[in-house]
């Protein structure tokens, strides 16, 4: 349920409604807009069903929410949320550009990539230290040593760090070095991990599962927000379909869907979304035109010798060309790169 307060409601009116919710064993989530205040009611469904506040002073109306996700819903929070990541506002006018290699392979490789993406206009260095791979024989990442490299290189070049978290036991270690926790597609419904991340306050970028519906994706985000962490960012990275030409099918329509259903920002990953470097540039252009809030792109200085995902990695030269193209599209969309 959401409680829409009258534009003329006083702070005392709002406080009384919140007190009523607390007395009923429910929680309140406050969203203050330009015209009115909306109070989201969170808790046991039976208690919510028996709640009567429509006659209280200052209450304009109550609305029953049918979706299971509440805090993620735009009904609860009509205004767009901007997630601050180490001083950079994701969801603001400037598009967030996260770029770098799939895996941290060495400090030299990472430094070369970081300098290239920084020069191209990225604000974030992406790189995997923990790599969940389909085959147990594939490169699994450098773990904590990789995290330390990411932080050193990012600080040297002047970038923020986004890297994947695969186990709740690693939350403290990853959080020490990263600015954003990235939850990969395979872990989208790892609810114990999501609950644990909900207890942190560091931003979480939640990738869409391999075959997840948009509703399942939004409900996964609800686990994080229900724990108290409101700094959540969606990431569309393609879903598994019958198509074999591409690694996945990048669902650009998911950007529009998330924008309609939720107030949270959304990033698009055209690298995993296609698995082919030749398709990364056109899909990135399409994502910006669809009003995404940023991109996460794999860039490797030498893709031909990459230990993972070389086929979908841009060279620095191609990344720079893409950034020049995005500047023109962003202007049309009222954004900037």
Q: 272-303, pLDDT tens digit by residue?
A: 999 999 999 999 999 999 999 999 999 999 99
Encode 33-90 in three state secondary structure.
Answer: CCCCEEEEEECCHHHHHCCCCCCCCCEEEEECCCCCCCCCECCCCCCCCCEEECCEEE
Decide: helix, strand or coil at residue 26.
coil
Residues 247 and 200 in one domain: yes
* Predicted local distance difference test score (pLDDT) of residue 208: 98
Total domains in the fold of the chain: 2
Residues 100 and 194 in one domain: yes
154 domain residue, yes or no: yes
Residues 32 and 178 in one domain: no
Residue 132 belongs to domain spanning: 83-332
Residues 58 and 103 in one domain: no
Residues 108 and 15 in one domain: no
Inform me whether the pLDDT recorded for 31 exceeds 70: yes
73 domain residue, yes or no: no
Decide: helix, strand or coil at residue 93.
coil
Tokens encoding 322 = 């893409």
Inform me whether the pLDDT recorded for 34 exceeds 90: no
User: Which residues in 199-227 are b (16+ Cβ under 10 Å) and which e?
Assistant: ebebbbbbbbbeebebeebbbbbbbbbbe
Residues 25 and 89 in one domain: no
68 domain residue, yes or no: no
* Predicted local distance difference test score (pLDDT) of residue 140: 60
Domain CATH code at residue 313? 3.20.20.70
130 domain residue, yes or no: yes
170 domain residue, yes or no: yes
pTM, full prediction: 0.90
Tokens encoding 28 = 């309140």
Residues 177 and 309 in one domain: yes
Residues 23 and 147 in one domain: no
Residues 56 and 114 in one domain: no
CA distance 295 to 276: 16
220 domain residue, yes or no: yes
Q: 121-156, pLDDT tens digit by residue?
A: 999 999 999 866 566 656 666 889 999 999 999 999
- Checking 249-256 for CB contacts under 8 A at 24+ apart, the result is 249/273, 250/274, 250/283, 250/287, 251/208, 252/283, 252/286, 252/287, 252/290, 253/290, 254/208, 254/214, 255/287, 255/290, 255/291, 255/292, 256/290, 256/291
Residues 59 and 88 in one domain: no
How many residues would you count in the chain? 337
């Amino acid at each position: 349920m959401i409680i829409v307060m009258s534009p003329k409601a006083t702070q005392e009116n709002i406080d009384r409604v919140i007190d009523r919710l607390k007395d009923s064993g429910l929680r309140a989530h406050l969203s203050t807009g330009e015209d009115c205040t909306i109070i989201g009611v969170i808790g046991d469904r039976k208690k919510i069903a028996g709640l009567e506040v429509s006659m209280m002073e200052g209450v304009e109306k109550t609305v029953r929410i049918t979706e299971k996700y509440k805090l993620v819903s735009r009904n609860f929070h009509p205004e767009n949320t901007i997630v601050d990541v180490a001083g950079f506002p994701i969801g603001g006018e400037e598009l967030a550009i996260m770029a770098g290699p799939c895996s941290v392979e060495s400090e030299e490789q990472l430094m070369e990539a970081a300098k290239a993406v920084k020069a191209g206009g990225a604000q974030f260095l992406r790189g995997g230290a923990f790599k969940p791979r389909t085959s147990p024989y594939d490169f699994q990442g450098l773990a904590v040593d990789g995290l330390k490299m990411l932080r050193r290189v990012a600080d040297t070049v002047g970038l923020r760090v986004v890297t994947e978290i695969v186990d709740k036991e690693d939350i403290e270690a990853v959080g020490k070095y990263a600015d954003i926790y990235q939850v990969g597609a395979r872990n989208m419904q790892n609810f114990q991990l999501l609950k644990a991340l909900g207890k942190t306050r560091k931003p979480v970028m939640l990738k869409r599962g391999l075959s997840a519906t948009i509703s399942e994706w939004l409900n996964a985000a609800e686990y994080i927000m229900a724990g108290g962490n409101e700094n959540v960012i969606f990431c569309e990275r393609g879903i598994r379909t019958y198509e074999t030409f591409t690694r996945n099918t990048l669902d650009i329509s998911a950007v529009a869907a998330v924008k309609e259903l939720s107030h949270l920002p959304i990033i698009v990953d055209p690298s995993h979304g296609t698995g082919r470097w030749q398709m990364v540039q056109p899909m990135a252009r399409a994502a910006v035109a669809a009003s995404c809030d940023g991109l996460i792109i794999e860039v490797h200085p030498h893709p031909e010798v990459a230990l993972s995902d070389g086929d979908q990695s841009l060279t620095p030269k191609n990344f720079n060309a893409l950034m020049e193209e995005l500047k023109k599209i962003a202007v049309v969309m009222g954004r900037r790169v």
